[in-house]
A = this chain, B = another copy of it.
Amino acid sequence: MKTYTECIPCFLGQALQASRFASDDPSVHERVLREVARAVSTMDMSRTPPEMGQLIHRVIREETGIDDPYAAVKRQFNDLVLELYPDLKERVSSADDPFEVAVRLAIAGNIIDFGGGRSADAADVERSIEESLREPLSGGGLELLRSAVDKSSDILYIADNAGEIVFDRILIEELSPEKITLVVRGRPVLNDVTVEDARAVGLLDMVDVLPNGSDAPGTILDDCSEAVRTRFAKADLVIAKGQGNFETLSGAARPVFFLLRVKCEVLARETGYELGSVVVAKI
């Protein structure tokens, strides 16, 4: 997906938010915002929004020396959702259709997104759980996904955010962990999942975890390791969570199942699903 002009104020909002996570010094915030503004003034709008996100977070690391400004917020949301885990598992096991409930919960978790200057709190998570269980699914992909899962022995599951990853664990447990390779970011960027988060929520002992070798808040295949590119091409089934992965993989050469909530107007227009939609789509 290309970058739209509406993304530009959000890039600056993201730069502001991330620079504040990394530093209390207004002169640092100012340097980061100037640098990002300069990059925006000449950026190639045909590239995906996570490519600018990648640049923003590189600027922040360079200007602050802080490698992982979102470390605390990632721990906070991993812990928060781990507390909800027993109740969420009970909702799945007691459901008429545990697969559908697990898919809906995995999408619910996608509200924990600090991209584009967004944020989330515990009340947002609770609300997203109820909405995602109640709202009609958009995208028409649920039954296609169910049948693809049944037929696949090699599933690539591309994770998105910390906290959200606990919801993903619940879906992964329904899909059978032995079939799954979990792809995480190669290094910290935004509140995106790294190997550390997979470990923190108990996924490292459950599935193969593959860091993608990239520091982008999405999956820019050209920037990923050869291993990830090969697995992406050859897997029986690819499931990708969230907006950053959608923006970078929606034009990929193979079908991907996207599971996400629609959190901005640009994505709503691009996908054709309303703001707030709970989406399972094969693209």
Residues of A at the B interface (CB closer than 8 Å) are 4-6, 8-10, 12-13, 16, 19, 26, 29-30, 33-35, 37-38, 40-42, 45, 117
Contact = CB atoms under 8 A, between A and B. Distances in A.
Contact of A8 (B10, B12, B38): B12
Contacts of A6: 16
A10 B6 CA distance: 12
B8 A16 contact: yes
Contacts of A29: 5
The binding surface of chain A is classed by DSSP as helix
Nearest to A42: B34
29 contacts: A4-B26, A5-B16, A5-B19, A5-B26, A5-B29, A5-B30, A5-B33, A6-B16, A8-B16, A8-B33, A8-B37, A9-B9, A9-B10, A9-B12, A9-B16, A9-B117, A12-B12, A12-B40, A33-B40, A34-B40, A34-B42, A35-B41, A37-B37, A37-B38, A37-B40, A37-B41, A38-B38, A38-B41, A41-B41
Contacts of A5: 16, 19, 26, 29-30, 33
A11 to B, nearest CB: 8
Contacts of A13: 9
